[in-house]
């Protein structure tokens, strides 16, 4: 089309074109970065924890005072819970996936090794943990009841055996072939890997510092004998709510001198821990929507104004032989040139913004797909917005060239 | 003259109601969105104790090898962000600051006073008596315990207003006892409602959570072997048992010191350095002394108290405001250009360029003010929505106080006037004679 | 060339019906230079817009260069306008943001001519009106007379069959007006068909013949002397 004359005319009327171009550039830069950030968050939120989420509830248990017979009490609680109708299994532990707080350790391949090979979360597991968490063994075996030892707070010692996740196995050994091998939690002694489970997230999987070892988890065969631990209960499908209520009543029936905290389905834990992500996604999504709307309206407003200013000219063009569609195409081409230039500037701004976000705020880099997606959205929006004023321009009667003096 | 221009501005706005609405809407939405997010960010990054934030410091000592240090997840400014029990006690004994306190978080089960009610858990903090005057903690009744109580591991506590009211239904609490973990403690003081934002003295359990309900002497907590309720980081496995835990190089204790002048701060830093050097000479440390001393504001920055999510949101929201303002420039250009005839006539009738400039600027300010009102309303609505989506701790910060309200309105007017400068300047340059001929 | 037969144009409002042209007929043959005159409000502007295919008419018939324009859709009319007619407006109507060459190029673009062809025609047209040196100038840099000559060049560049001029010297001073009229006469003697609308009898004299419109109807006057005969004569 007649690109050169359009450009020439634009150069004489820089202000308006510049304004639209800048709006488009800023919109593109913000939208593509926001989409990237939101997509990352949504991606992280969707990752499965690896346990049977829909059928599990958890609670924090703490007896009043310092009871002496902790182990008996814990065993009694668990036995009672397991006996409840609708319960598949129950176990006690120090923490569970996405809980937020928990234990972590570094792992080495030899006793002398100074630099750790991997980070891992530590979960205390008993003989029932595999069933209570609904995990899937891929190789090897779980702990047997007689392998479980007692562990009190401030105890030390390395476990003789452990079960790890597939991700951890791959972090420690090249092809993930970890079964039967030894690893070292500290120089004191080796821990032999007897089993590998499919996937279990750490308690810190939602935090930024846990991002590098999200599925590195290690189960150690200890019963955590502590006044202050977590019960994990797995129910049959559809019975979670009823069993939760029954469990609470049962525990207080056994002993009312206790505090049961955070009795909630796993879904509530997941929702709580990802609340910040969800909030960010909602805020960014809303702002992006508003941004596109405002830019679109801005284009409509400014272009309508231009059309009004150039009413006479448009009539003249029509008189000289332009068809309606030629006028339409003129404004669409003009808009495309402006939006195209704005989009190029926006791509540069977007990449610069992304670089800054990546370095100062530890956001991940944006893939080029977002840049192209953002540019497409912005160009399509721009062309759609200019359609209305362009159609109005095309409807200007050619007689205006003569009639409006 | 100003009232005249005001009247003209309102007339002009009414004349082209569609354009005016678009402008006010764009500015209002831009202000609303950005202030909704900024309110929370500002609350998160505000100084929790402005009168004293430059006098309260966190000492940091590196009691780990440099290699172990690199592996640690909780560093602040390249150093460990908590102290070992050993070092904290050494600093307490040295007593080099005007006031100082070691502290750590604990948690209790509380027996209710109402018969039939269930026991509940409450968070606590083991501190020295200096904690209260250091952090300007206000008392409703009673007072902190004495230094003697600190030394003597007394069974005394100071409780929050919330806990006192829960247990004693508004009645007198000082002097009564409270059952914590099946042990009796005498209440010596009740605090007024106290909610420093952020809860800077210990950010390990959420920077914006409510303060603890129970405060007790540090020595008492150690004596009772109360487990810590917070972060614990170890470079190597400690010796077994409680004593092993205390004597290890695990860091789980916080420490704050009050140093009122720059000179005292410098001399404290020198003391820390010498302490670390001394530990090296005794063979405990094998590396060069590495110490730090950060005041409240520096501490909040090193600990990254403001979540990155909040920063990104704020950046994006203000980017949106910028686009809305660029939008306004265009709309204002259009508005003033279409009035070139009227303005030309005014010029012919004797108005100077400055007069036209002022007239248009006043009109811009009026648009900004109207946009500011809309923006303020939208901010209130936005904060309400924000409260439902943020975490409970952050949601407490999503409230508009009068200061922020003024800022919102002021920003709207200021930003609109700034974006109106170019269109106004263009308008003031309209030629008087030329426009008359076109009548 | 331009043949209107019993043409009428009616403007309807809610209350009243106005005949801008009533039963109007005119026949301009190829090579003629016709002036269309009449008082203000007589309908000459309406005649011009209809002749130029800028507006539609209510009744009657209009043949342009042998083509019956009735019922043609907007696209066809635009094409016809582009190919057959060259406009010369009273207010010049040059586009201020484009230079002289780009202004002249406009109708050529809509015809879809190749670049080389367009260039050739622009150069020829500028040569014809004597403004070859001003190709890169902007309208604001030219005098009124020069602007009108550019407009004439724009009209000529497409090799139209008919030149329609609306008060071509209305915005010019006497000297410039003389120059423009001279140019029009030259074009006529080169074989152009020109229909010029004017209210100035001095200008009308320079045409071959004059068609006088009063109240939407033609009063045709043959050569000299000029006698206003208020009867309807069809030629």
**Which tens digit of pLDDT belongs to each residue from A286-320?**
999 999 999 999 999 889 888 888 888 899 999 98
pLDDT at A262: 93
CA dist list (Å): B53 to B137, B202, B256: 14, 15, 12
Name chain A contacts of C90, Cβ cutoff 8 Å. Answer: 402, 405
Question: Closest Cα to residue B83, out of B277, B300, B254?
Answer: B254
What distance in Å separates residue A17's CA from the closest CA in chain C? Answer: 14
Q: Stretch A181-189: mean pLDDT, rounded?
A: 89
Give the pLDDT band (50/70/90) at residue C230. very low
Q: Stretch B187-206: mean pLDDT, rounded?
A: 89
CA B394 to chain centre: 10
C173 phi/psi in degrees, rounded to 5:
-80, 175
Smallest Cβ–Cβ distance between C81 and the set A4, A319, A405 belongs to A319
Is residue A81 domain-shared with residue A168, that is, in the same domain?
yes
Smallest Cβ–Cβ distance between C98 and the set A9, A321, A402 belongs to A9
Is residue A173 domain-shared with residue A289, that is, in the same domain?
no
pLDDT at C235: 46
A181/C contact by beta carbon, under 8 A: no
Q: What is the mean pLDDT of chain A?
A: 91
Give contacts of B 70-109 with A, CB under 8 A: 71, 73, 107, 109
Contact call for residues A298 and A381 (beta carbons, < 8 A): no
Residues C111, C117, C123: CA angle, nearest 5 degrees: 110
Is residue A306 domain-shared with residue A204, that is, in the same domain?
no
Other residues' Cβ atoms within 10 Å of the Cβ of residue B241: 15
Whole-angstrom Cα distance, residue A346 to residue B182? 65
pLDDT beyond 80 at B205 = no
A316/C contact by beta carbon, under 8 A: yes
pLDDT at B436: 47
Residues B199, B202, B208: CA angle, nearest 5 degrees: 30
Name chain A contacts of B389, Cβ cutoff 8 Å. Answer: 275, 278-279, 282-283
Nearest CA in chain C to A395: C74
Is residue A70 domain-shared with residue A184, that is, in the same domain?
yes
How many domains are there within chain A?
2
**Contact across the interface for A64 and B309, Cβ inside 8 Å:** no
Contact call for residues A90 and A232 (beta carbons, < 8 A): yes
State percent of chain B over pLDDT 70.
98
pLDDT digits (tens, 9 = 90+) for A125-171: 999 999 999 999 999 999 999 999 999 888 888 999 999 999 999 99
B87 phi/psi in degrees, rounded to 5:
-65, -40
Of A96-105, A158-167, A271-280, A357-366, the least confident:
A357-366
The upper half-sphere exposure of residue B93, i.e. CA atoms within 13 Å in the direction of its Cβ, equals 7
* Chain A, chain C: beta-carbon pairs less than 8 Å apart: 87
Asked whether residue A269 is assigned to any structural domain, the reply reads: no
Contact call for residues C77 and C53 (beta carbons, < 8 A): yes
pLDDT at A266: 96
Is residue A102 domain-shared with residue A242, that is, in the same domain?
yes
Asked whether residue A393 is assigned to any structural domain, the reply reads: yes
pLDDT digits (tens, 9 = 90+) for A251-295: 999 998 999 999 999 999 999 999 889 999 999 999 999 999 999
pLDDT at C94: 87
B397 phi/psi in degrees, rounded to 5:
-90, -10
pLDDT at B18: 82
Q: Stretch C182-194: mean pLDDT, rounded?
A: 89
Q: What is the mean pLDDT of chain B?
A: 89
Nearest CA in chain A to B25: A294
pLDDT at B433: 55
pLDDT at A404: 67
pLDDT beyond 90 at A68 = no
CA dist list (Å): A115 to A119, A126, A167, A212, B423: 11, 30, 19, 16, 64
pLDDT beyond 60 at B405 = yes
Asked whether residue A61 is assigned to any structural domain, the reply reads: no
Other residues' Cβ atoms within 10 Å of the Cβ of residue C152: 26
Asked whether residue A118 is assigned to any structural domain, the reply reads: yes
Is residue A72 domain-shared with residue A29, that is, in the same domain?
no
Is residue A73 domain-shared with residue A37, that is, in the same domain?
no
The DSSP code sequence of B252-301 is EEEEEEE--SHHHHHHHHHHHHHHHHHHHHTTS--S---EEEEEHHHHHH
Angle at which helices A275-309 and A368-394 pack, to 10 degrees? 30
Whole-angstrom Cα distance, residue A138 to residue A144? 17
Other residues' Cβ atoms within 10 Å of the Cβ of residue A83: 10
Is residue A218 domain-shared with residue A70, that is, in the same domain?
yes
**Contact across the interface for C78 and A13, Cβ inside 8 Å:** no
Is residue A38 domain-shared with residue A122, that is, in the same domain?
no
B182 phi/psi in degrees, rounded to 5:
70, 30
pLDDT at A341: 94
Q: What is the span of the domain harbouring residue A211?
A: 66-256
Nearest CA in chain B to A260: B120
C93/A contact by beta carbon, under 8 A: yes
Q: Quote the pTM value.
A: 0.83
**Contact across the interface for A402 and C166, Cβ inside 8 Å:** yes
State percent of chain C over pLDDT 90.
20
Asked whether residue A265 is assigned to any structural domain, the reply reads: no
Is residue A391 domain-shared with residue A332, that is, in the same domain?
yes
Asked whether residue A133 is assigned to any structural domain, the reply reads: yes
Give the pLDDT band (50/70/90) at residue B437. very low
C90/A contact by beta carbon, under 8 A: yes
pLDDT at B122: 94
Asked whether residue A117 is assigned to any structural domain, the reply reads: yes
A58 phi/psi in degrees, rounded to 5:
-130, 160
Name chain A contacts of B439, Cβ cutoff 8 Å. Answer: none
Q: Stretch A335-359: mean pLDDT, rounded?
A: 92
> Which own/partner contact pairs does C172-180 have at CB distance under 8 Å and 24+ positions apart?
C172/C144, C172/C145, C172/C148, C173/C144, C173/C145, C175/C145, C176/C143, C176/C144, C176/C145, C176/C148, C177/C145, C177/C203, C179/C145, C179/C149, C180/C145, C180/C148, C180/C149, C180/C152
B322/A contact by beta carbon, under 8 A: yes
* Chain A, chain B: beta-carbon pairs less than 8 Å apart: 161
pLDDT digits (tens, 9 = 90+) for B342-401: 787 777 777 778 888 888 999 999 999 999 999 999 999 999 999 988 888 888 888 888
pLDDT at C220: 57
Q: Stretch B113-140: mean pLDDT, rounded?
A: 92
**Contact across the interface for B391 and A26, Cβ inside 8 Å:** no
The β-bridge relationship of strands A103-107 and A118-124 is antiparallel
Smallest Cβ–Cβ distance between A399 and the set C55, C97, C102 belongs to C55
Asked whether residue A261 is assigned to any structural domain, the reply reads: no
pLDDT beyond 70 at C221 = no
Name chain A contacts of C166, Cβ cutoff 8 Å. Answer: 402
Q: Stretch B154-170: mean pLDDT, rounded?
A: 91
**Contact across the interface for A294 and B324, Cβ inside 8 Å:** yes
pLDDT at C4: 85
Is residue A237 domain-shared with residue A368, that is, in the same domain?
no
pLDDT at B144: 93
Smallest Cβ–Cβ distance between C93 and the set A2, A13, A401 belongs to A401
Q: Stretch B283-299: mean pLDDT, rounded?
A: 90
Q: What is the mean pLDDT of chain C?
A: 85
Nearest CA in chain A to C96: A9
Is residue A110 domain-shared with residue A218, that is, in the same domain?
yes
Q: Which of B73, B330, B371 would best serve as a mutation to test chain A binding (most A beta carbons within 10 A)?
A: B330
pLDDT at C171: 84
């Amino acid at each position: 089309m007649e690109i050169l004359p359009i450009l020439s005319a634009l150069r004489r009327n820089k202000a308006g074109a510049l304004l639209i171009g800048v709006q488009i550039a800023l919109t593109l830069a913000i939208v593509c970065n926001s989409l990237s950030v939101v997509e990352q968050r949504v991606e992280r939120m969707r990752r499965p924890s690896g346990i049977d989420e829909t059928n599990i509830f958890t609670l924090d248990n703490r007896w009043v005072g310092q009871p002496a017979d902790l182990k008996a009490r814990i065993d009694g609680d668990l036995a009672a819970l397991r006996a409840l109708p609708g319960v598949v299994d129950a176990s006690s532990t120090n923490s569970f996936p996405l809980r937020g707080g928990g234990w972590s350790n570094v792992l080495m391949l030899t006793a002398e090794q100074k630099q750790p090979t991997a980070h891992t979360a530590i979960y205390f597991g008993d003989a029932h943990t595999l069933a209570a968490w609904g995990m899937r063994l891929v190789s090897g075996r779980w702990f047997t009841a007689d392998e479980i030892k007692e562990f009190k707070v401030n105890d030390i010692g390395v476990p003789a055996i452990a079960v790890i996740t597939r991700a951890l196995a791959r972090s420690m050994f090249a092809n993930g072939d970890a079964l039967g091998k030894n690893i070292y939690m500290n120089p004191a002694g080796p821990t032999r890997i007897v089993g590998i489970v499919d996937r279990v997230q750490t308690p810190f999987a939602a935090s930024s510092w846990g991002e590098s070892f999200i599925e590195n988890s290690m189960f150690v065969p200890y019963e955590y004998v502590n006044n202050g631990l977590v019960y994990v209960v797995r129910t049959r499908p559809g019975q979670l709510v009823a069993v939760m209520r029954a469990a609470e009543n049962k525990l207080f029936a056994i002993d009312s001198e206790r505090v049961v905290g955070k009795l909630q389905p796993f879904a509530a834990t997941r929702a709580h821990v990802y609340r910040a992500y969800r909030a960010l996604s909602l805020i960014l999504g809303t702002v992006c929507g508003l941004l596109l709307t405002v830019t679109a309206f801005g284009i409509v407003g400014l272009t309508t104004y231009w059309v009004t200013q150039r009413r006479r000219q448009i009539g003249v063009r029509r008189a000289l032989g332009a068809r309606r569609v030629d006028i339409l195409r003129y404004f669409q081409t003009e808009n495309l040139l402006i939006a195209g230039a704005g989009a190029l500037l926006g791509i540069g701004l977007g990449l610069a913004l992304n670089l800054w976000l990546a370095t100062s705020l530890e956001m991940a880099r944006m893939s080029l797909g977002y840049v192209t997606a953002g540019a497409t959205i912005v160009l399509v929006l721009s062309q759609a917005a200019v359609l209305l004023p362009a159609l109005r321009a095309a409807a200007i009667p050619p007689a205006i060239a003569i009639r409006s003096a | 003259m100003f009232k005249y221009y005001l009247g003209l501005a309102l007339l002009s706005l009414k004349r082209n109601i569609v354009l005016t609405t678009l402008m006010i809407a764009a500015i209002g939405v831009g202000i609303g969105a950005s202030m909704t997010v900024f309110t929370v960010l500002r609350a998160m990054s505000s100084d929790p104790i402005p009168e004293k934030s430059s006098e309260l410091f966190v000492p940091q000592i590196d009691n780990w090898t440099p290699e172990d240090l690199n592996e640690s997840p909780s560093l602040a400014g390249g150093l460990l962000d908590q102290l070992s029990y050993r070092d904290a006690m050494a600093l307490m004994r040295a007593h080099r600051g005007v006031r100082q306190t070691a502290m750590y978080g604990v948690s209790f089960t509380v027996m209710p006073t109402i018969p039939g009610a269930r026991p509940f858990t409450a968070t606590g903090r083991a501190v020295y008596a200096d904690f209260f005057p250091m952090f300007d903690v206000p008392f409703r009744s009673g007072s902190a315990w004495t230094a003697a109580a600190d030394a003597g591991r007394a069974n005394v506590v100071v409780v929050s207003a919330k806990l006192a009211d829960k247990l004693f239904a508004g009645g007198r609490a000082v002097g009564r006892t409270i059952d914590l973990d099946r042990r009796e403690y005498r209440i010596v003081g009740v605090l007024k409602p106290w909610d420093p934002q952020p809860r800077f003295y210990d950010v390990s359990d959420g920077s914006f959570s409510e303060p603890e309900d129970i405060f007790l002497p540090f020595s008492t907590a150690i004596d009772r072997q109360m487990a810590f309720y917070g972060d614990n980081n170890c470079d190597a496995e400690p010796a077994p048992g409680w004593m092993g835990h205390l004597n290890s190089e695990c860091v789980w204790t916080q420490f704050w010191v009050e140093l009122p002048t720059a000179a005292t701060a410098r001399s404290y830093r020198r003391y820390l350095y010498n302490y670390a050097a001394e530990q090296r000479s005794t063979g405990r440390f094998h590396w060069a002394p590495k110490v730090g001393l950060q005041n409240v504001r520096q501490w909040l920055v090193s600990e990254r108290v403001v979540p990155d999510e909040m920063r990104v949101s704020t950046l994006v929201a203000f980017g949106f405001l910028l686009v809305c303002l660029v939008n306004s420039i265009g709309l204002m250009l259009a508005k003033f250009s279409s009035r070139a005839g009227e303005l030309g006539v005014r010029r012919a009738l004797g108005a100077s360029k400055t007069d036209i400039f002022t007239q248009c600027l006043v009109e811009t300010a009026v648009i900004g003010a109207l946009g500011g009102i809309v923006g303020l309303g939208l901010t209130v609505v936005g904060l309400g929505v924000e409260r439902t989506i943020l975490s409970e701790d952050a949601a407490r910060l999503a409230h508009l106080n009068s200061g922020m309200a003024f800022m919102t309105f002021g920003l709207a007017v200021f930003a609109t006037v700034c974006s109106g400068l170019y269109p106004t300047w263009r308008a003031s340059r309209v030629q008087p004679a030329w426009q008359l001929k076109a009548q | 060339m331009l043949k209107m037969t019993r043409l009428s144009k009616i403007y309807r409002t809610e209350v009243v019906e106005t005949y801008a042209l009533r039963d109007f007929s005119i026949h301009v043959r190829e090579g003629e230079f016709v002036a269309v005159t009449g008082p203000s409000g007589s309908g000459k502007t309406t005649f011009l817009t209809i002749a130029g295919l800028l507006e539609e008419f209510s009744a009657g018939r209009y043949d342009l260069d042998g083509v019956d324009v009735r019922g043609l859709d907007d696209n066809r009319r635009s094409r016809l306008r582009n190919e057959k007619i060259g406009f010369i407006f009273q207010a010049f109507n040059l586009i201020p943001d484009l230079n002289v060459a780009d202004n002249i190029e406009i109708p050529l673009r809509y015809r879809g001519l190749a670049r080389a062809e367009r260039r050739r025609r622009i150069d020829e047209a500028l040569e014809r009106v004597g403004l070859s040196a001003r190709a890169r100038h902007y309208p604001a840099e030219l005098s009124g007379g020069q602007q009108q000559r550019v407009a004439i060049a724009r009209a000529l560049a497409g090799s139209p069959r008919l030149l329609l001029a609306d008060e071509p010297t209305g915005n010019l001073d006497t000297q410039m007006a003389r120059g423009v009229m001279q140019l029009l006469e030259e074009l006529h003697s080169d074989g152009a068909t020109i229909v010029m609308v004017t209210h100035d009898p001095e200008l009308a004299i320079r045409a071959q013949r004059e068609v006088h419109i009063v109240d939407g109807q033609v009063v045709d006057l043959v050569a000299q002397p000029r006698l206003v005969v208020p009867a309807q004569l069809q030629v």
